[in-house]
């Protein structure tokens, strides 16, 4: 019974923190999902991704760092206390949430592996001036996409290679390489793991922001921006990318409105890019981390007592 109570309490804390933070973020994320001229697309993408994974990460940290230790250290093992209906229900929800997220991630990964294997049948290596291996595939769709997480490579269709001129092809490849550098496919897999209802809008906004961030990384002058805009228009006419698009990074990805916004943004590209915000110095970050660790080191015992009192109220 002690083990059952511990599991129920731990997952109850997890699901309460996860649910509360997810609901809060679901309400407020739209306030920062904009692209004003003074805001860099990559920074918007980073913030949106951080917001999306924050509930899961915070819930896991609170559970492992506070709920589990407080229960193991302060809960009497000799008391045969039954598990109440509320912690049992909340704990079951937490277990199901984690289980469904893990299954969702595994299914997405297997589906992606099968799809990529089908795409690369008869593929051959293509000599391109990029740091990522490029495979020339016989299928028209996907026209150009980054596939793979541990061993990423760019899949380039013969139709895309025929449609694009040299400048357009190079900027399009630079766009895909930017996705590799940012590890966007791995982030998409993580989003499949942190499953929670009502987050589709936030995930869509993040996907659109990642495409704009890759656009910015791929161009360095107005000519390259126009080349990439032309590549987007040409490749979008070949057709939408087939599943498993959620674990790949296709160049011509997104809705019609999102594609239009990207093209207009590239056409209006200016050499006067927004100034990079001042980054925190390593010394400042180290000082902040040490202060935080010191605070928790001093107050950890008291925090465990308070967490245990809260979970005791939950069990009753």
Listed in sequence order, the residues at least 6 apart from 156 whose beta carbon sits closer than 8 Å to its beta carbon are 126, 128, 134, 135, 136, 137, 143, 144, 173
Task: Give the residue among 208, 218, 242, 225 at the shortest CA–CA distance from 137.
Answer: 242
Which is more confident, 285 or 262? 262
pLDDT category, 241, cuts 50, 70, 90? low
**Residue 231: helix, strand or coil by DSSP?**
helix
Residue 130 scores a pLDDT above 60: yes
Percent of the chain having pLDDT more than 90? Answer: 46
Number of Cβ within a 10 Å radius of residue 106: 13
Query: SS3 for 135?
Result: strand
What's the chain's average pLDDT? 86
Phi and psi, residue 124, nearest 5°: -135, 155
Q: Which pLDDT belongs to residue 285?
A: 73
DSSP string covering 170-188: HHHHHHHHHHHHTTHHHHH
pLDDT of residue 266: 92
Question: What span, in angstroms and rounded, lies between the C-alpha atoms of 67 and 117?
Answer: 44
For the segment 93-127, what is each residue's pLDDT rounded down to a tens digit? 999 999 999 999 999 999 999 989 989 998 899 98
Burial class of residue 123 (count of CB atoms within 10 Å of its CB; 0-12, 13-18, 19+):
middle
Is the pLDDT at 227 greater than 90, yes or no? yes
Is the pLDDT reported for residue 243 higher than 70? no
Q: Do 201 and 110 contact (CB within 8 A), yes or no?
A: no
Is pLDDT above 80 for 163?
yes
Residue-level pLDDT at 8 = 86
Q: What is the pTM of this model?
A: 0.88
Asked if residues 144 and 206 have their Cβ atoms less than 8 Å apart, the reply is no
Domain-wise residue ranges, the chain: 2-315
Q: pLDDT tens, 48-67? A: 999 999 999 999 999 999 99
**CA gyration radius for the chain?**
24
3-state secondary structure 273-286: CCCCCCCCCHHHHH
pLDDT in the model for residue 32: 63
């Amino acid at each position: 019974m002690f083990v059952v109570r511990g599991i129920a309490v731990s997952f109850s804390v997890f699901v309460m923190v996860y649910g509360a933070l997810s609901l809060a973020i679901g309400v407020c994320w739209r306030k920062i999902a904009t692209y004003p001229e003074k805001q860099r697309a990559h920074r918007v993408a980073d913030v949106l991704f951080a917001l999306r994974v924050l509930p899961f990460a915070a819930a896991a940290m609170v559970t492992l760092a506070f709920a589990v230790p407080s229960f193991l250290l302060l809960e009497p093992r000799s008391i045969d206390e039954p598990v109440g209906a509320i912690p049992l229900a909340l704990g079951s929800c937490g277990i199901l949430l984690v289980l469904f997220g893990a299954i969702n991630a595994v299914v997405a990964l297997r589906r992606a592996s099968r799809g990529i294997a089908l795409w690369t049948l008869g593929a051959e290596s293509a000599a391109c001036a990029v740091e990522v291996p490029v495979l020339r595939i016989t299928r028209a769709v996907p026209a150009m996409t980054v596939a793979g997480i541990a061993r990423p490579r760019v899949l380039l269709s013969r139709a895309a290679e025929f449609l694009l001129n040299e400048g357009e092809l190079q900027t399009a490849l630079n766009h895909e390489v930017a996705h590799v550098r940012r590890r966007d496919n791995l982030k998409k897999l993580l989003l499949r793991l942190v499953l929670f209802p009502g987050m589709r809008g936030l995930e869509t906004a993040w996907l659109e922001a990642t495409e704009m961030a890759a656009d910015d990384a791929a161009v360095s002058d107005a000519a390259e921006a126009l080349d990439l805009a032309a590549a987007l228009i040409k490749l979008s006419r070949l057709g939408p990318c087939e599943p498993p698009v959620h674990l790949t990074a296709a160049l011509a990805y997104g809705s019609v409105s999102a594609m239009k916004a990207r093209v207009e943004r590239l056409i209006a590209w200016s050499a006067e890019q927004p100034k990079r915000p001042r980054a925190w110095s390593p010394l400042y970050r180290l000082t902040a981390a040490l202060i935080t660790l010191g605070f928790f080191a001093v107050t950890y015992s008291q925090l465990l007592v308070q967490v245990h009192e809260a979970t005791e109220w939950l069990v009753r």
